[in-house]
Structure 1
Amino acid sequence: MAACLFNQNANISLNPPNQTVGTTGSASVLAISLHGIFSSIGIIENLLIVGVVGFHVRRSVISIWILNLAASDLLATAFLPFFTLYMARGNTWTLGTTFCRIYSSIFFLNMFVSGFLLAAISMDRCLVVLRPVWAQNHRDKQIVTKICGVIWALAVVCTIPFYIFRDNIHLPSGQILCYYNYAQFPPSEPYDLKVLCKQRKEALAFMKFLLAFLIPLVIIILSYAAVNSHLAGRGHRRSFRFFRLVVAVVVSFVLCWAPYHIFIIMEVMAPSGHALQKFASKGLKIAATLGFFNSVLNPILYVFSCPDLCKKIRHSLGAVMESVLTEDLAELARRRSTACSSHSTAELVMKSKVSLTTLSLKTEEEQAEIIANSDS
């Protein structure tokens, strides 16, 4: 078993957070500080988003999508402090095997949920634009809530393999790693341990690459290509608020997760001991942290996607989120129409007051003139 884990570079994977035996130099101090900052900011941000969207924003299809994304990000950032503790203790895991598996699985659960939700949101936008009548009749909050439940269930199922192969690894130096143990649960028939570990590692790497990244990304690209083509053909505007929000979240998802998956595939495919594999192992240290940063970045995008933030920041956070999650341009047009109507009414009232004042002054002048004439 030890040979499967450590004597072959091809079977070593720095899956997040990276599980290398580190030193206590300045780089480690910087990494610990960054993880501590990320976790603190991420927890506060996502708690605010979940609280505001869950309790202070009118329930809608869009708010349900955003609430589930924020809940996934909150779950990921809530477990990040445990890795900060792991790093602070010299890369030694002291919280037991069961919690090691749970903690590591949360990372992958967030990865799958984010990919599945973004793909579902993209298809939802596509249906709203391409099949508006069908969407009006069949798209409601209950359906979307059930879809989100299915997405979470699928994500849990996809996370199970990563849970069962996680283990506490005791090193001769006394360190304890929360790491992969691909030699667990061996088959009943004869097998080659080295080949078995390599096959399992490759299977898990390509599984998460396809299901959590590549397939959702293809769905996202195709959905928004169809939306853009349809709107461009009809000469409609394409830059409405929620569209910009989703594009920003998708770009953040790609930029934060693509390096991680690229380095994972590089490490799996490179020959054992090859320079490319060593490069990928080092790159995964940064890529894993970048993947966690996606959960910190999303809440910022939810808020700052509102173009009138500088004005609306004076209002409550709930009002800002309500504006960000506005379903479509019709709602915005209605509000503008109401504002214009109120402005016109106010102008009419002011004009009436001015007219009455002028009339009153004229009447007083006429009375004064009559009195003067009568005195003379």
Structure 2
Amino acid sequence: MPGRPISLQLGSCASSSPEGMNNTLNSSSLAPDLTISPTVTWVYFSVTFLAMVTCILGMAGNSMVIWLLSFRVQRSPFCVYVLNLAVADLLFLLCMASMIGLETRPLLTANTSIRVYEGMRRIKYFAYTASLSLLTAISTQRCLSVLFPIWYKCHRPQRLSSVVCGALWALALLMNFLASFFCVRFWHPSENQCFQVDMVLSSLILGIFMPVMILSSTILLIQVRKSTLLWRRRPRRLFVVILASVLVFLTCSLPLGIYWFLLYWVGGLPKVVSLLYICLSRFSSCLSSSANPVIYFLVGSQKSHRLQESLGAVLRRALRDEPELEGREIPSVCTNDEI
């Protein structure tokens, strides 16, 4: 009957807040019962379906990028970053798809499903942190290459990209380990400790990496615009890839991080508002992690040969670092100065 509220089992849409997390861990299902209208129910299932489809397509695209960069494309310093970013995005999408599957149709017993769900949520947080830090490193290194071109070409350490990627993975793992450790340690005395620890670590991550990413991307955009107007050259495809990836991340994936602050500082939000926001932010974060392979294809492909080139050739062209003169094409090169 229209207008009659119904009861619906929801997943992480409620469990991200302290109260929702407590109810989730103390109940026999993955989430508490929320009484919402049929319209909100329809929106929830529609957005959840779109998020699952986006996860599947994104996993396929990132898997293709990983395979091409591992076996088909010679690795440049930037290719190393892209490879690690694709791995982080693939891991994030895999965890998100698993969480959605457990929310809609748990395949395990209640206690086991809750443990698996919490494990997927922790790994998703780890992948999100790694993706954010890697994207920040990409934009920062490109900014340095524009501001200090002589140093970048002559004095940059040869293994800088691999070392930075390893350090960022280790940092993301350490942050996630500390969050999990304190959450388990303070589980029984105060279940709100889990959320408070996550808030502290999220504040550090967003407070450090986000301003650096925005500043370096802004400088890069200004420099690219100036060189384009001065030398009448097309912007390097590599710079277009970086700026597009950062823009998509800030537009789509950042709301997921803001959601934690919104729940922590703004109390008493209506359940419907909180539900719709977390579902939409979850879909947008899936879209962000799935967008990079599409960006590589659109930037690297030529209009006249868009459907005739191999994916390896398109990816090589998208990741090359040579400038292009107006109306000319330079052969695709991805230098092998770092393996």
Q: TM-score range by the shorter chain?
A: 0.7 to 0.9
Aligned pair partner of 1:313 in 299, 307, 325: 307
Alignment-mate amino acid for residue 254 of structure 1: L
| 2:229 aligned with 1:223 | no
2:179–2:194 contact (8 Å) kept in structure 1: no
| 2:155 aligned with 1:138 | yes
1:206–1:265 contact (8 Å) kept in structure 2: no
Return the alpha-carbon distance in structure 1 between the equivalents of residues 302 and 67 of structure 2: 22
The Cα shift of 1:257 comes to 2.2
2:217–2:246 contact (8 Å) kept in structure 1: no
The Cα shift of 1:307 comes to 5.5
The Cα shift of 1:38 comes to 2.1
Aligned pair partner of 1:288 in 276, 282, 289: 282
Aligned pair partner of 1:99 in 116, 137, 157: 116
Return the alpha-carbon distance in structure 1 between the equivalents of residues 224 and 289 of structure 2: 31
Aligned counterparts, 1:109-258, within 5 A: 109-139=126-156, 142-164=159-181, 183-184=186-187, 186=189, 193=190, 197=192, 200-211=194-205, 213-228=206-221, 235-236=230-231, 239-258=235-254
Which stretch shows the higher mean deviation, 22-31 or 145-154? 22-31
Return the alpha-carbon distance in structure 1 between the equivalents of residues 250 and 62 of structure 2: 20
Percentage of identical aligned residues: 23
Aligned counterparts, 1:23-62, within 5 A: 26-27=42-43, 29-62=45-78
The Cα shift of 1:270 comes to 2.2
Report the CA distance shift for 1:161/1:229 in structure 2 as closer, same or farther (over 3 A).
same
After superposition, the C-alpha distances for 1:61-107 in whole angstroms (9 at most, x for unaligned) are 11111111111111122233322321232698754565334311221
Report the CA distance shift for 1:141/1:278 in structure 2 as closer, same or farther (over 3 A).
farther
Return the alpha-carbon distance in structure 2 between the equivalents of residues 336 and 88 of structure 1: 50
SS at 1:12's partner residue? helix
SS at 2:187's partner residue? coil
Alignment-mate amino acid for residue 162 of structure 2: T
2:293 alignment partner in structure 1: 299
After superposition, the C-alpha distances for 1:123-143 in whole angstroms (9 at most, x for unaligned) are 111221111221112335522
The Cα shift of 1:120 comes to 0.7
Aligned counterparts, 1:68-87, within 5 A: 68-87=84-103
TM-score of the pair, normalised by structure 2: 0.75
Alignment-mate amino acid for residue 66 of structure 1: V
1:119–1:216 contact (8 Å) kept in structure 2: yes
Which stretch shows the higher mean deviation, 302-311 or 58-67? 302-311
Return the alpha-carbon distance in structure 1 between the equivalents of residues 302 and 281 of structure 2: 34
2:321 alignment partner in structure 1: 327
After superposition, the C-alpha distances for 1:46-69 in whole angstroms (9 at most, x for unaligned) are 111111122111110111111111
Alignment-mate amino acid for residue 142 of structure 1: R
Report the CA distance shift for 1:249/1:296 in structure 2 as closer, same or farther (over 3 A).
same
SS at 2:321's partner residue? coil
1:267–1:276 contact (8 Å) kept in structure 2: no
1:259–1:287 contact (8 Å) kept in structure 2: yes
Report the CA distance shift for 1:93/1:122 in structure 2 as closer, same or farther (over 3 A).
farther
2:52–2:100 contact (8 Å) kept in structure 1: yes
Return the alpha-carbon distance in structure 2 between the equivalents of residues 92 and 283 of structure 1: 28
* Consecutive unaligned residues in structure 1, runs of 5 or more: 1-5, 167-180, 187-192, 340-376
RMSD: 3.5
1:312–1:319 contact (8 Å) kept in structure 2: no
After superposition, the C-alpha distances for 1:141-192 in whole angstroms (9 at most, x for unaligned) are 52211110111010111112443477xxxxxxxxxxxxxx895164xxxxxx
Return the alpha-carbon distance in structure 2 between the equivalents of residues 318 and 48 of structure 1: 10
Return the alpha-carbon distance in structure 2 between the equivalents of residues 30 and 313 of structure 1: 32
TM-score of the pair, normalised by structure 1: 0.68
Return the alpha-carbon distance in structure 2 between the equivalents of residues 268 and 337 of structure 1: 52
1:353 alignment partner in structure 2: none
The Cα shift of 1:286 comes to 2.0
Alignment-mate amino acid for residue 291 of structure 2: L
1:266–1:276 contact (8 Å) kept in structure 2: no
1:263–1:281 contact (8 Å) kept in structure 2: no
Report the CA distance shift for 1:277/1:162 in structure 2 as closer, same or farther (over 3 A).
farther
Bigger Rg, which one = 1
| Count of aligned pairs between the two proteins | 302
Report the CA distance shift for 1:258/1:232 in structure 2 as closer, same or farther (over 3 A).
closer
The Cα shift of 1:208 comes to 1.4
Aligned counterparts, 1:6-21, within 5 A: 11-12=19-20, 21=33
